[in-house]
Chain A
């Protein structure tokens, strides 16, 4: 039980997303302030009063895991939970979790060496996609359409990572999408908005220029998000879904524990920060009872 109304917003830097969140939390009557890495020592030492909750919004994956773990061990609840952030920041761990929970997901395998990438791509058949386990914004994601692609990827890898420290990677079956993927923002257990990310590129990250179009949350999207929340626990997520044109099946591609929303909110008109702040206020009220 806590009577504190203090909410910390752990950040690498304060982007428009976090600025919106601070405003929304304060509108809910909470005391919200940014938490930078240098402020963490006094918080975990208990020198600045017990916060009721910390929202983990660090851009840096390492920092997000480190901060959430330390806060959790100091008795400060975090959103999302540290274990959830760890899973979401690793596409390999996500694929294992999805398999355990029967969540529809493209065939995804770990590879711990260049030779294993060659063999796995050959076994799965091309096209296949090779991804770093902890990449974001579409960085380092390669489509293998021919053995020459695999050899070009291997040559680059040998140059940049002689000792193989950047392994594992995941090799994933390529999903032939209908020119867009879907991003559903989940607050608590509730999908609050869904968008199509439309692009001519096979990668549909908004960071790579994909256009945002709001769509209704369908029953199928809701069901998949519910399965994801059952596996990860309630939290704040960006759930990425892809439609496979060859089977019409909707698959969960990945889940982001630190979804961006400032630019997309401006386009789809849903106040994501307001939904999240209201959820935080409700959660704190419930835990104080």
Chain B
């Protein structure tokens, strides 16, 4: 089985819509709810699954 294509299901923290997150996502990575567009950050990833939080907003001192 190609793990990069495997997915896990998460619930949007804003609109509750379920959306798929690829299993090769890393801690700290940003993913978006396909329904309302809210960005989420993967804050924990374990055998039990993933835990999401709302993604950080752009701040004043952000930049390349």
Contact = CB atoms under 8 A, between A and B. Distances in A.
A256 B41 CA distance: 25
A13 B41 contact: yes
A84 to B, nearest CB: 15
B16 interface: no
Interface in B32-64: 41, 55-56, 59, 61-64
Nearest to A37: B28
Contacts of B28: 11, 13-14, 18, 34, 36
A61 B27 CA distance: 21
Interface in A54-107: 59-62
**Majority DSSP secondary structure for residues of B touching A:** loop
A12 B64 contact: no
A256 B64 contact: yes
A134 B61 contact: yes
Nearest to A166: B60
B29 interface: yes
A139 interface: yes
Interface residues of A, number: 25
A260 B29 contact: no
Nearest to B64: A260
Interface string A190-206: 00000000000000000
Contacts of A259: 64
A139 B61 CA distance: 10
Contact of A22 (B26, B30, B55, B63): B26
Contact of B64 (A11, A22, A36, A238): A238
A12 B56 contact: yes
A2 interface: no
Interface of B: 26-30, 41, 55-56, 59, 61-64
